[in-house]
Amino acid sequence: MDLHTFSKESVIRATPERVFAFHELPDAILRLMPPWESGRVVQRADISQIGSEAIIETKIFGLLPARWVARHTAYDPPRMFEDVQISGPFRRWRHRHLIEPHPDGATLRDEIEYEPPLNFLGRLATPLLITPRLRKLFDYRHYITRDWCERK
């Protein structure tokens, strides 16, 4: 097993309830999709429904078409929710969205455990392609979340 971890943490000047509410918006997944990504949302999930699935069509390394199915497996407002990949580009993917109180509002932390695709090639690609892509993706997602949550 070639398990990797990635995390991104930000302080957002809003209550944990407001940060969580952003993720419950029916179009949250669309808002969080960066304009440079080639992904297309086929089906949105309702994070409040355990077992609800999101389906996204994307490309591995920007080249190979892939269909990503993520199932929501935990829901504990306003603290956390989780989704896991049922099928898709990674050999394994678990994504926890954690929200905790902070003196300035709330801390949003995304924690991801994953096994890269394509065995040996995936292991080579992790530091060169996967980690930088995750960093750019979650920088964008936290920016969008902060912008919505901090608006009056």
Q: Which of 56, 76, 74 is nearest to 66 (CA)?
A: 56
| Residue 77 φ then ψ, to 5° | -70, 145
Dig out the tokens for 117 from the structure.
């695709």
The amino acid occupying position 32 is L
44-78 pLDDT, tens digit each: 999 999 999 999 998 766 677 889 999 999 999 99
| Residue 51 φ then ψ, to 5° | 95, -15
* The overall pTM is greater than 0.75: yes
Helix (H, G, I), strand (E, B) or coil at 2: coil
Instruction: Give CA–CA dist 131/137, Å, rounded.
Output: 10
The superfamily (CATH) of domain 4-150 is: START domain (3.30.530.20)
Domain boundaries of the chain, sorted by first residue: 4-150
Q: Which of 99, 82, 16 is nearest to 47 (CA)?
A: 82
Residue 61 has what pLDDT?
A: 62
Instruction: Give CA–CA dist 74/47, Å, rounded.
Output: 8
